[in-house]
Amino acid sequence: MIPIVDPTTLTKADAYKQAKLIFATSGRASLDPNWFELPENLQHQWHIWFDGGHEVHSATYSQRENIWREGPKLTLPALTTGENVDQVFHSLLDSDYFDERPKAIGVVYHVADEFAQAELAEFTTGLSVAEDIQMMRYNLTDEPVEFLADKKISEELTTWRLLYMHGAMAGQVRFVAVSLSRYREAFSKKLLIAGESHRIPVRIAITAAPLEALAAMPLIGLPQDEGYLLVIPYLKFTVVFAMNSSGELVSMRSLPHKVEIPVPSGFGDILWNMAIRAEIMGANEPLVVLAAKSSLELQDITRELYTYSARHHPLRLHGIDLSAHPAMKAVTHHHLEFLIYSTSEIQRAREETPALANTKTFSNLWDWMAKQSFFNIGKLDDQYPTLADLRLMHLSVWVNRLLVCSLFLAFGYGGYSIFTAMNHPSWGLTPDEIKISEERNAQLLRESQEIARTNLLMQPRSRGWVNLEFLFQLFPEDSGVRLDEFNYSMASDAPTKTAIKGAVAANGTIGAVIGMSRTWKIKGMIKSKGLELLSNLNSQRGLRVFFEKVEKATGDSSYQPDPSRLLSITLTQARNSRYNAQTTASEILRDPAVTYPFTFEAVITQNFPDKDPLALPTEKPF
């Protein structure tokens, strides 16, 4: 694994060099999105559970098949110092632990040997509860000193995460920080190095086992109609969660054990006082739910609490032996914490316990609070290029290859062109042959110009049938128009010495050209329907639309509107003095003009400038 430096401390050039080195030597260059995925979302997972005893429990989980298996053996020294991590990781790739060779491994370290809480500093943000939670989550990860009441904490030795008491009442603590020590990060970092060397994505999370156990309890069975104290014992401590009748978390305590004593000192009084403060007394007998990992552990705690209940305050006890519970049969080592990593089990909990699923406590536990990692792998990810950066670098590699290939092709084509030119027969021509060739080329140039001028001169500029179509498009059938006069003319402008745009011969210009103008003069009588057609033409937009219509109908490009081709119209309208609304049929037969209420005269002009492709050449073609 190459040494990685925080890119924010480097110059842009050095950060780019480091990114290129990572891209060239790291498996991240494969653009596998699993390099940036959360460990609980990966198909193949390795779960490590440790409670401070002599054994380390290891299990693998195949998410697709929802199957738990015994994991590779892991010794206590290996877990503490990171010895032989590479050999253990190599054994994970064996088919004995998964149904197939994993392409990525999510590692979850369930810490069950410690669980402490710390008070948060008092602050007022003015934000909503959701915004407060988000802000504290990120700051407890990145800048915990700013939010903890104790400013003398060591960020190098301890890490903190947020726990929100959704059921806390006014005056009670709503937010606490739970903490774990960071001595497990040595093992985690060596595991990351092993993954890098094998070019396999390894994503790691270090989680607090009590929070995971609380999140998994609805799968085992919890009261839903009254408040209770949930007791989950571990080897070195016992954690107690106070839950109200709505299923919301009210308070939490972590009680350390004395050496070789499985029950905290003054356990009964602690439970009684927690029940009073949380106001979950019920019928003056608070309900205590005990979830123990073995029947022997359950007996020890039950015996202690029965004795306290008989001598001091009555307690109602409900014991759960996790090792004998049906829901734990398929889970290796019968660890309650493993259950929440099965998506099907969480879905079953949402369906079977809708009352708990709708609580903020269990909703947040299942979404993020129980699985929040005490190993800040996000900070480590920030030192590597993002997936978008890697994709861009991958694209740049292909662009560079394409540029190199283009450069070689350019050199090759240039060399070939030089070789072909130097071997051309013209290099062997005599002066007389060169002179004859030049004269022939000059003659060809003149002929080419003559052909170009002839072609330009012969272009169709005015066609009779197109003018008839022009009239038909202007006044369609039954448009209420009677024409008395229709004249069409085309005239030329004064000649100018200029080059026609787009009409250039091989070695010269066409020569002098002249612009032209076309005029349509229409006169007659018209009814209201036809008058509306003429009104539409009485604007530049209307003229352009009409000429586009004629060009589309005839295919004549001379009617195509262009900013350089000026269109204009002069429209004169008047009332027909011969119009008689009461005329008879016999009068109409003698003089149809009496049925038209209006007369009109329209003059439409189209001017072609001398730079138009249809401008006329004035020089002789040949």
d(CA 18, CA 608): 65
Distances (CA, A) of 87 to 93, 192, 459, 583: 10, 13, 86, 114
Alpha carbon 334 to its chain's center: 40
pLDDT tens, residue by residue, 417-432 = 988 888 888 777 888 8
pLDDT tier at 125 (50, 70, 90 boundaries)?
Answer: low
Tokens read off for 102: 């994993």
What distance in Å separates the CA atoms of residue 598 and residue 583, rounded to the nearest whole number? 16
Report long-range pairs for 298-301 (Cβ below 8 Å, ≥24 apart).
300/262, 300/263, 301/231, 301/233, 301/238, 301/262, 301/263, 301/267
Query: pLDDT exceeding 70 applies to what percent of the chain?
Result: 93
Highest mean pLDDT among 155-159, 301-305, 390-394, 498-502: 301-305
- Say what the pLDDT of residue 509 is: 52
Question: Residue 508's pLDDT is what?
Answer: 43
Residue 143 reports pLDDT greater than 70: yes
How does residue 282 score in pLDDT terms, banded at 50, 70 and 90? low
Cα four-point dihedral sign 274, 276, 280, 282:
positive
**Which pLDDT band holds residue 71 (cuts at 50, 70, 90)?**
very high
Task: With a cut of 80, say whether residue 121 has pLDDT above it.
Answer: yes
The string of pLDDT tens digits covering residues 168-207 is 888 788 889 999 998 888 888 889 888 888 889 999 999 9
Q: How far apart are CA 529 and CA 481, in angstroms?
A: 9
The one-letter amino acid at 384: Y
Give me the pLDDT at residue 503, please.
42
pLDDT category at 128 given cuts 50, 70, 90 is low
For the stretch 79-120, pLDDT in tens is 888 888 888 898 888 778 998 889 999 999 999 999 999 888
| Bridge partners for 177 per DSSP | 118, 162
Mean pLDDT (whole number) for 408-415: 93
The residue assigned the tokens 């492709």 is 613
**What is the per-residue pLDDT for 262?**
85
User: How large is the average pLDDT for residues 22-46?
Assistant: 84
What integer is the mean pLDDT of 73-80?
A: 86
Task: Report whether pLDDT(233) > 80.
Answer: yes
371: which 2 tokens? 């699985």
Structure token pair of residue 172: 């009670």
Tens digits of residue pLDDT in 582-621: 777 777 778 888 888 899 999 999 999 988 888 888 777 6
CB atoms closer than 10 angstroms to residue 36: 15
H helix or E strand, kind and range, residue 521: strand 516-526
**What number is the average pLDDT over the span 118-142?**
75
Q: Are 461 and 558 in contact (CB under 8 A)?
A: yes
Burial class (CB in 10 A: 0-12, 13-18, 19+), 90: middle
pLDDT, averaged across the chain: 86
The secondary structure of 137-201, three-state, reads HHHHHHCHHHCECCCCCCCCCEEEEEEECCCCCCCCCCEEEEEEECCCHHHHHHHHHHHHHCCCC
Question: Please, which pLDDT band fits residue 3 given cuts at 50, 70 and 90?
Answer: low
Answer yes or no: are the C-beta atoms of 136 and 144 closer than 8 Å. no
Helix (H) / strand (E) element for 573: namely strand 566-575
| 67, containing H or E segment | strand 67-70
pLDDT score, position 498: 47
Segment 574-586 shows an average pLDDT of 82
Q: Residue 126: pLDDT above 90?
A: no
Q: What is the pLDDT of residues 240-281, one digit of tens each?
A: 999 999 999 999 999 999 877 889 999 999 999 999 999 887
Q: What is the pLDDT of residue 320?
A: 94
Q: Minimum mean pLDDT among 322-326, 379-383, 568-572: which range? A: 379-383
Locate tokens 């038909």: which residue?
A: 472
Going by pLDDT thresholds of 50, 70 and 90, the confidence category of residue 507 is very low
What is the Cα–Cα distance from 289 to 292, expressed in whole angstroms? 10
pLDDT, greater one: 3 or 90: 90
pLDDT of residue 221: 87
Q: What is the pTM of this model?
A: 0.64
Residues sharing a CB contact under 8 Å with residue 72, sequence separation 6 or more, in sequence order: 46, 58, 88, 91, 92, 97
The residue ranking higher by pLDDT, 183 or 239, is: 239
Residue 496 DSSP symbol: B
Q: In angstroms, rounded to a whole number, what is the distance separating the alpha carbons of residues 542 and 534?
A: 9
Give pLDDT tens digits for 426-466. Answer: 777 888 888 888 899 999 988 888 888 788 778 788 888 99
Q: How many CB atoms lie within 10 A of CB 255?
A: 18
Instruction: Give the 3-state DSSP-derived string for 343-379, with helices as H, strands as E and coil as C.
Output: HHHHHHHHHHCHHHHCCHHHHHHHHHHCCCCCCCHHH
Share of the chain above pLDDT 90, in %: 37
Q: Which residue has the higher pLDDT, 28 or 147?
A: 147
- Mean pLDDT throughout 506-516? 65
Cα 288 to Cα 361: distance, rounded to the nearest angstrom:
19
Residue 216 contacts residue 336 (beta carbons within 8 Å): yes
pLDDT of residue 283: 62
